[in-house]
Chain A
Amino acid sequence: MGIISRGFQGRRRGSDGRLPPGQYLVHDFPVLSAGPTPRVPLDRWEFTIDTEDGRRHRWSWQDLMKLPSETPTVDIHCVTKWSKLDTAWQGVSLDVLFEEVESAAEYALIHSYGGYTTNLPVEDLLDGKAWLAYRYDGDDLAPEHGGPARLLVPHVYFWKSAKWVRGIRLLDEDEPGFWETAGYHNYGDPWREQRYEGD
């Protein structure tokens, strides 16, 4: 337990144990991005998965829309301390996209329109843990929230859920992404409060 701040009462909001350590609940949807919001026209949008031996799998927007989608309702946790419960999305499970990909790579570097990158072990993208999301709360995903499509990987801090996602490079060796090279934790498990390098 930390030192006590004289006179601090605080609010204890019931969250049924769904709030990771150091997080607080919000009801709006804050935006955090390192730069301007890219605008990506759908007729030029594409998503790619590049394997470690240089094979490329590619989906256009039309291809993506033809794939079976899911409607996950998940809690999201931002490293800047806010958490939002029961967020409703629609998107394609990465399991569907990875079906036709042959790879033994253990690491993924996710990259976005605008140049953002973030890394995760491949296993964190599979088995129902990650989606390519294009609708939020019943509407098309707004550009400032990552539209037309963003990654959704809710079991790690939300910076891993890359906005404006463009593709995934599969790698034999881990390669840290944008925030991971700027002092943030390489993995980012909110339940172990892995915010910063060394946590």
Chain B
Amino acid sequence: MRRLPWRVARLAESRWENDSARTLVLEVPGWPGHLAGQHVDVRLTAEDGYSTQRSYSIAAPADGERVELTVERVPDGEVSPYLADVLEIGDEVEIRGPVGGWFVWRPDGAAPVLLVAGGSGIVPLMAMVRQRRRAGSRTPFRLLYSTRDPGRRYYAEELRRPDPGLDVTYVYTRAVPEGWSRPPGRLMLDDLAAGGWPAEFAPDSYVCGPTGFVERAADLLLSLGHDPGRVRTERFGPTGG
């Protein structure tokens, strides 16, 4: 087994998803491709040789040698403020991957899919949404996406466009748009019952977000009768990334 090599990644394009999240489209010569849901390690090296690494989820399915990440700027972080605010088109970082063979969705999956995203946990789930669309898959998807308020959403324009077979439900925890019937509040059993799949449909569920959110969403899914073996989780905390 060959070691996963570090590869040079050059920033080809970028766009802001909201005022603190930036999507980076990297050109990575020799990139072997990846599955929706996988992540990469990013390494930054300073002029004096000091280097540090972080892991980031990939936001889009494999597209030749292009790898797309969405990075949330963590205040006081060491790496994310650089990637969000300093890195310019043509600048280079190094990446290694793809990594992770569990939190992945393949277009040949037949079971209905429930995606439950908390905040920036949408990123690997968006790769699955995009993979499904690109592959012309008919697998029914439901996405339940919880953010603090509408302005914190990522990919809002894209998720507004019709995508047959994908249902999107938003849950806002702090502030809601005018006329929104659900009051702001954290994810509840009713949200998962209404915006998800009945347990009898035996869906594959993917839950990603901060630890507290994932703990809660996964517990609620179990209390609705979902098979724990079909609930995949990916958690991250405020680790100063």
Chain A residues within CB distance 8 Å of chain B: 1-12, 22, 24, 26, 28-38, 80-82, 114-115, 144, 178-179, 181-183, 195-199
Q: Which residue in A1, A26, A178 is a CB contact (below 8 Å) of B51?
A: A1
B102 contacts A26, C-beta separation under 8 Å: no
Q: Which residue in B4, B43, B49, B233 is a CB contact (below 8 Å) of A36?
A: B233
Given contacts A24-B240, A26-B240, A31-B235, contact A5 B93 (CB under 8 A): yes
Task: Report the Cα distance A43→B23, complex, angstroms.
Answer: 49
* A-chain residues with CB within 8 Å of residue B65 when the two chains form the complex: none
Helix, strand, loop or mixed for chain A's interface?
Answer: loop
Query: Can you list 13 A-B pairs with a CB-CB distance of less than 8 A?
Result: A2-B94, A5-B92, A8-B44, A8-B46, A22-B53, A24-B52, A24-B53, A24-B78, A31-B237, A37-B215, A181-B101, A195-B41, A198-B1
How close is A19's CB to chain B, nearest CB, in angstroms?
10
User: Closest B-chain residue to A186, C-beta based?
Assistant: B1
B46 contacts A196, C-beta separation under 8 Å: no
Within 8 A of A (CB), among B19-36: none
A-B contact sample (5 more), CB < 8 A, given A26-B239, A36-B221, A36-B231: A2-B43, A10-B51, A30-B236, A82-B239, A144-B215
Q: Which residue in B88, B91, B101 is a CB contact (below 8 Å) of A182?
A: B101
Q: Which residue in A2, A33, A195 is a CB contact (below 8 Å) of B6?
A: A2
B215 contacts A197, C-beta separation under 8 Å: no
Given contacts A10-B46, A30-B237, A81-B53, contact A36 B222 (CB under 8 A): yes
Task: Report the Cα distance A11→B80, complex, angstroms.
Answer: 13
* A-chain residues with CB within 8 Å of residue B6 when the two chains form the complex: 2
Q: How many residues in B have their beta carbons less than 8 Å from beta carbons of A?
A: 50
* A-chain residues with CB within 8 Å of residue B229 when the two chains form the complex: 35, 115
Given contacts A2-B6, A36-B221, A36-B233, contact A183 B101 (CB under 8 A): yes
Q: Within 8 Å of chain A (Cβ to Cβ): is B164?
A: no
Task: Report the Cα distance A179→B229, complex, angstroms.
Answer: 15
How close is A47's CB to chain B, nearest CB, in angstroms?
21
A34 contacts B93, C-beta separation under 8 Å: no
* A-chain residues with CB within 8 Å of residue B88 when the two chains form the complex: 6
* B-chain residues with CB within 8 Å of residue A38 when the two chains form the complex: 228
Q: Within 8 Å of chain A (Cβ to Cβ): is B8?
A: yes
B233 contacts A4, C-beta separation under 8 Å: no
How close is A6's CB to chain B, nearest CB, in angstroms?
5
Which 6 A-B residue pairings sit nearest by Cβ, starting from the closest?
A182-B101, A36-B218, A198-B1, A30-B237, A198-B3, A31-B211
B231 contacts A35, C-beta separation under 8 Å: yes
* A-chain residues with CB within 8 Å of residue B141 when the two chains form the complex: none
How close is A32's CB to chain B, nearest CB, in angstroms?
6
Within 8 A of A (CB), among B86-124: 86-88, 91-94, 99-103
